[in-house]
Amino acid sequence: MKRRDAIKLGLTLAGTGAASKVLQADVPQSGLIFPETFRPSIVAEPSPPVTPFTVPLFVCPIAQPVTQAVLESQGGPIDPLAHQRYGEFLPKKFYVQVISEFQWKYHIDPPYSNGSWGWGFKGITPGETFHANYGEPVLVRRINNLPPVGSGNVTFALPSVSIHRHNGHQASESDGIPQDFFDPGQFWDYHYPMYPAGGDPREIMNTLWYHDHRLDFTATNVYAGLSGFYLHFDDFDSNNENDPRKGASRLPSGKYDVPLLLHDVQFDRNGQVIFDFNNPAASLGNPKNFDLNSRNVQDGATGTDSIETWKFKEQWNNSVSPQHTTFGMIGDRYTVNRIIQPYFRVERRKYRFRILNGGPSRLYNLFLKAESSTGDSAKPGEKFIVLSTDGNMLPEPLIKENIEVWVAQRHDVIIDFSSFSTGDYVYLVNRLAMREDGAGPNGRDLDPGDPIMRFDIVESKGRDPSRIPDTLRQLPAVNLKEVRRERTFVFDYDNGLFTINGRLMDPNRVDAKIEQGSAEIWTLRNEGNSWVHPIHSHFEEFQIIEVNGKPVEKNDVLHSRKDVVSLGPGMEVKFFSRWRDFLGKHVMHCHNVVHEDHAMMIRWDIVPPGQGD
């Protein structure tokens, strides 16, 4: 039984190893949604206090390639027949990533200084940052070395994984779709052609990321630590701010190009990361006071100590009728690259930051706020120079006072610190207040806002050779004559679960058969009046042509190629997209990954011409 079915029946998630087909049947309402008295753990049991800006930012190391022989020594030879067009895109670089459990230190204050059990790649979270060049195909072997179910220290996630390179243009078998999972002791080879969609250089992307996408456990597995950056480069965006070639962008590079992965996290009294599946402790007391014989909770029990064994957890969850969090998961500690409110020393020059919202559910409205060491007023550097939204580059840079970053969205920005003085502080601040249940914004702004991290200004160590081009990448033309058909997808909340067109996700059901080489127009509509949905469709980027019936303006960040739609309450968004180069199955889903897991996702397939629906 999958966790989705367990939730519908009010049972435990423990022991659910393999996924099975979703049964769309009437189910009891008891335990289906949490009652009005539900108190999320960030309210009932807040995380321990912490001193902000005392720990430096963790800068993820760059992934280093290995030889094909080294890769094949860890699991066996590569199977070329397992990959579409493998001979056309023979790998030029090979990587091995081992997925494992370890303790990660989020902060130096106790109890965080004890470390928290989590998951990651090669002993770190986020995982290594990949640098990949167009024209250099890549093969990554990912080995699942997580402890089997019931034997590890992370009890809220499932040690069965599928790693998705978010909106990478790769074939289905290398996409990391939810149903292509592999278990402890197994590995999966991911083949990345490093080829722009349709062979069109205007389709080149820059800031991608990789994360777990396991069916029904995406939220928990990513929250446990399974995410990282995957950056693309080409002749224009060449990863060299000193590039002498004509046409090179010379954007900030090297240590001045810094990925920032935002996660909000909840911790228990011991500094251990927890996931707010349910909150029996708020009303029923400490699970350690649970009588294994009588299966009753003793009177007066208090506390939130973690459950020590999988068997105990199973009995506990089966007996106390847990209150399930299906709207979202909100943590009360901001982390950047898995460090609680870090500081980062920056020189008085331009920096490039890849800002990513890793979820699970929180949305951000980000501002820069300066604090002068001399008491001067705000400086002109309190601006973002926006290069991209999602994985693409805009036609030209946009100067913005703020950027909204929904789950899975990336904003590639330049911040110019040259107008600040040595000793100044610049804070990255979030001003978007969220509902405690994680469904979406609560309708008010945070004033002056929550500081997420602090930039400490230091003197420059040399000249700044980087620059900001006047133009970036031009958009491919939208040719409506190419459109083969139009589709509408309605996102709603039915009977305690999240649906698309009134249906739950079934990985064995094909919801759309799209003919290879064709174009379509999709309309996404949010029927809800309280929750929000960042909607992501795999494989190809799209261009939004209308929002609530109005065309997108050219100076809008939406005038771009996108892979995530910000679908607020009552909104309707229409986009144009093409489907090219590979056949196979993919998905579209809400990237509030708690919604995805419960079960707001469809499967769509690219099929040969003449076989579409």
Share of the chain above pLDDT 90, in %: 78
Question: For residue 36, what pLDDT is reported?
Answer: 57
Give the pLDDT band (50/70/90) at residue 41.
confident
Per-residue tokens: 482 = 């190419």
Give the pLDDT band (50/70/90) at residue 108.
very high
User: What's the start-to-end Cα distance of the chain, in Å?
Assistant: 31
Q: Minimum mean pLDDT among 23-32, 177-186, 416-425, 488-497: which range?
A: 23-32
Give the pLDDT band (50/70/90) at residue 62.
very high
The number of domains in the chain is 2
What's the average model confidence in pLDDT over 467-476? 96
Q: Of 308, 338, 317, whose CA–CA distance to 152 is shortest? A: 308
Task: Tell me if 154 sits within 8 A of 104, measured CB to CB.
Answer: no
Give the pLDDT band (50/70/90) at residue 67.
very high
Question: For residue 322, what pLDDT is reported?
Answer: 41
Place of tokens 């940052």: 129
CA 475 – CA 477 distance, rounded (Å): 6
The residue from 230, 247, 264 where one domain ends is: 247
pTM equals 0.88
Give the pLDDT band (50/70/90) at residue 6.
very low
Phi–psi pair at 579, nearest 5 degrees: -135, 115
Peptide bond connecting 111 to the previous residue in cis, omega within 30 degrees of 0: yes
What is the CATH classification number for the domain harbouring 103? 2.60.40.420
Q: Give me the domain span that covers residue 233.
A: 68-247
In a domain, 13, yes or no: no
Q: Of 482, 528, 127, whose CA–CA distance to 327 is shortest? A: 528
C-beta neighbour count of 374 within 10 angstroms: 7
Task: Tell me if 271 sits within 8 A of 113, measured CB to CB.
Answer: yes
Give the pLDDT band (50/70/90) at residue 381.
confident
In a domain, 296, yes or no: no
In a domain, 263, yes or no: no
SS3 at position 429: strand
In a domain, 446, yes or no: no
Q: What is the pLDDT of residues 395-407, one digit of tens each?
A: 999 999 999 999 9
SS3 at position 228: strand
Question: For residue 437, what pLDDT is reported?
Answer: 85
The residue from 227, 247, 267 where one domain ends is: 247
Give the pLDDT band (50/70/90) at residue 277.
low
Question: For residue 285, what pLDDT is reported?
Answer: 32
Higher-pLDDT residue of 265, 555: 265
The residue from 216, 247, 278 where one domain ends is: 247
In a domain, 96, yes or no: yes
Q: What is the pLDDT of residues 167-200, one digit of tens each?
A: 899 999 999 999 999 999 999 999 999 999 999 9
Higher-pLDDT residue of 314, 206: 206
Peptide bond connecting 408 to the previous residue in cis, omega within 30 degrees of 0: no
Question: For residue 536, what pLDDT is reported?
Answer: 98
For residue 305, pLDDT over 60 is answered with no
Higher-pLDDT residue of 45, 491: 491
Per-residue tokens: 387 = 């290069």
Question: What stretches of 375-442 show up as alpha helix (H) in DSSP?
Answer: none
CA 196 – CA 10 distance, rounded (Å): 46
In a domain, 524, yes or no: yes
Higher-pLDDT residue of 315, 478: 478
Question: For residue 321, what pLDDT is reported?
Answer: 37
In a domain, 464, yes or no: no
Question: For residue 394, what pLDDT is reported?
Answer: 95
In a domain, 202, yes or no: yes
Question: For residue 494, what pLDDT is reported?
Answer: 85
Q: Show the beta-strand stretches assigned E in 480-600.
A: 483-494, 497-500, 512-515, 519-526, 533-537, 542-547, 550-551, 561-562, 564-567, 572-578, 584-590
Question: CB-hemisphere CA count at 13 Å for 413?
Answer: 28
Per-residue tokens: 134 = 């167009």
Q: 130-133 and 227-233: which strand pairing? A: parallel
Q: Minimum mean pLDDT among 34-43, 381-390, 441-450: which range?
A: 34-43
